Amino acid sequence: MLTLSGKTALVTGASRGLGKAIALALGKTGANVAVTDLLVESEKVDKERLAEYSLLAAHFVDTGNVETISTAAAIRKMGVNSLGMKMDITQPDQIQKVVSEIFDQMGGVDILVNNAGVMDNMATMEHQTLKMFERDLNVNLTGAFNCIQAVWPHMKQKKWGRIINISSFVGLRGAFAQPGYGASKAGMIGLTRSLALEGARHGITVNAVLPGFIETEAVKLHDPKMLDRIKERIPSKRMGNPDEVAPLVAFLASDRSSYMTGTAIPVTGGADLFNF
């Protein structure tokens, strides 16, 4: 039986969608879970200023889809410990503060799931700006690096750790009019494999999950006609559900995956296969 009892997980970008599903799956498997996100229910934010950072984040502020604190509460009802906390993955000092609180209340971070990211920079090359391209890299790639660096010493000391980076199948296939997103997700695969080489001798595995089109709140915001075209091109003829990705993350976080490291696993319904 798969169990994470006695382990503590830190999940980023977990206020909704895939991150929330992953946090719940880890809690169901017995892990204590720190649910973190740029947004938390109790915080008032300047939406205009937030929109400069992420249009998607600004959109979700008033929609009822921010569930960082409530997800942690749901996990505690499963009989394990859970904290819901604000964390901006582009701010190393803020990450360290959160990690220190996790240490104080739950004893350390054994499992890190780098799920937080941005995907709202959509423009063809001539309309791209350096500012937005660098924003994509800073959040999606450097943000993951920041979080890994904050927990790596503890994992190395314990000689046990699980790092799961949520990349995307576009890291292999590319993303039209999203050069920053495609480049950052490809970079996550390179980061995964480089750190897998380093971590293996210390009992730390580092793996990447490459979701395809998953029906999250953010994806549902796209034009319905475009979503229909996407579904038609997927061999499975449908989008995935967050609950079809989360169990894989739980497996990679467990001892059952102890001989797997440096992998990049697509979960796409066949969208990454060649098809007419």
Summarised one tens digit per residue, pLDDT across range 161-180 is: 999 999 999 999 999 999 99
Q: CB within 8 A of 71, min separation 6: which ones? A: 14, 15, 20, 23, 24, 35, 82, 84
CA–CA distance, 148 with 143 (Å, rounded to integer): 9
Average pLDDT over residues 204-232: 92
* Average of per-residue pLDDT values in the chain: 95
Judged against a pLDDT cut of 90, whether residue 47 lies above it is answered with no
Q: How confident is the model at residue 42 (pLDDT cuts 50, 70, 90)?
A: confident
Q: How confident is the model at residue 223 (pLDDT cuts 50, 70, 90)?
A: confident
Judged against a pLDDT cut of 70, whether residue 276 lies above it is answered with no
Catalytic residue positions, numbered: 181
- Say how many C-beta atoms besides its own lie within 10 A of residue 259's C-beta: 6
CA–CA distance, 15 with 36 (Å, rounded to integer): 7
Residue at 262: amino acid letter: G
CA–CA distance, 231 with 156 (Å, rounded to integer): 43
The residue with greater pLDDT, 245 or 223, is: 245
CB 100 within 8 A of CB 150: no
CB 180 within 8 A of CB 222: no
CB 185 within 8 A of CB 139: no
CA–CA distance, 36 with 99 (Å, rounded to integer): 11
pLDDT tens, 53-65?
888 888 888 788 8
Burial of 90 (0-12, 13-18, 19+ CB in 10 A): middle
Angle at which helices 68-76 and 17-28 cross, to 10°: 20
The residue with greater pLDDT, 184 or 217, is: 184
- CATH fold of 8-263, please? Rossmann fold (3.40.50)
Residue 1 corresponds to which tokens in the numbers above? 């039986």
The residue with greater pLDDT, 17 or 221, is: 17
Residue 48 corresponds to which tokens in the numbers above? 């205009």
